[in-house]
Amino acid sequence: MFPIRFQIPSIALRPFIQFYVQAEVSLRDPLVIRPIPARASPMIEFVFGDRFKVRYRDSRDEVTTPAVALVGMLTRPHATLLHQGTFHSFVIAFQVHGLTDLFGVPSSEITNHTYDADAVLGKPIRELEQCLGNCETFQQRVSVADHFFAERLKHAQAVDRMGFAADQILSSSGKLSSAELAGQAGIGVRQFQREFSARFGASPKLFSRIVRFQNALDTKARSSTKSWTDVAYELGYYDQMHMVHDFREFTGESPSETLCKLELLFRAQIDVVRAGRAAERPDVVRRFVI
């Protein structure tokens, strides 16, 4: 559809940032419509050139996005992006606690919301936007972002026990129970559930379901041989219908419809993975985003 590039950040930043993504779009006609489903992490998106139009859930109005958008974790289908024009989009995809650790912004306050990043994060983001806008290539933007966040890392908050729990949910593909996570945190289950919900604006069970849904989609995208039944079994769903229910809740579509959109966006990267060449490519990341 249009060129998309990935890059994993420097090693020191990986506990806080998943990856950088750049999309280059030059479309006057036709209009490209892209739904935004649930997502288990926050992001900041810089748009250079024409802006996106967006239609938020339960609204018919089209709104122009800010030049720099701060989007929290999403627990449900969030909006529909309307692509038309010429622009570059540079996205910083954080770990679930990364934005809080690096900027001090409470995760629970931005879950299921989009804000003007300038209004929330202020001068540092304005300066980063200017530096990124002056870059001519994706790799230059990656270097600028790495340098910017390496400086912020010097004053970053330490990962707390709820941040550690979220990392454990991600690494287990959402398979750990609240009892297991509470035990690792050294607290009771009810206290763990309260603390996690207060920290991230979503219960650990809901967060785990979103993580599992993302992994199901990513697993299917990366394999040309696995069936949806295979994926459901591998990710620990009770049966395939439970997986279908989660896809409906988090995307508004069936698994196959969601996969089709993912394949359109990331065709080149998916082909590399399915051909077994991902290890040779530093720009192929652990999880695709939609």
Q: How far apart are CA 12 and CA 179, in angstroms?
A: 31
Final residue in a domain of this structure, among 153, 173, 196: 153
pLDDT at residue 42, as a whole number: 97
Query: Is 105 inside a domain boundary?
Result: yes
Clarify whether residues 30 and 117 are in a common domain: yes
The span from the CA of 27 to the CA of 142, in Å, is 25
Tokens of 205: 């069970």
- The answer to whether residue 285 is domain-embedded is no
- pLDDT in the model for residue 49: 80
- Domain end call among 153, 170, 200: 153
Question: What is the b/e burial string over 206-237, where b = at least 16 CB atoms within 10 angstroms of the residue's CB?
Answer: bbbbbbbbbbbbbbbbbeeeeebeebbeebeb
Read off the pTM: 0.91
How high is the pLDDT of residue 14? Answer: 94
Same domain for 38 and 140, yes or no, is: yes
- Among 114, 130, 153, the domain-final residue is 153
Residues 80 and 172 in one domain: no
Same domain? For 183 and 251 the reply is: yes
Q: What is the pLDDT of residue 55?
A: 87
Range of the domain at 27: 4-153
Do 139 and 10 share a structural domain? yes
Beta carbons of 30 and 113 less than 8 angstroms apart: no
Q: 121 and 57 share a domain? A: yes
What pLDDT score was predicted for residue 280? 60
Beta bridge partners of 34: 81
pLDDT at 6: 87
Structural tokens at position 24? 């280059």
**In this predicted structure, what is the pLDDT of residue 27?**
61
Domain total of the chain:
2
137 and 34 in a single domain? The answer is: yes
Give the pLDDT of residue 259.
Answer: 92
Question: In this structure, what CATH number is given to the domain that contains residue 223?
Answer: 1.10.10.60
Mean predicted lDDT score pLDDT of the chain? 90
pLDDT value of position 92: 97
Beta bridge partners of 44: 70, 92
Low-confidence ranges of the chain (pLDDT < 70): 1-2, 27-32, 278-287, 289-290
pLDDT of residue 278: 67
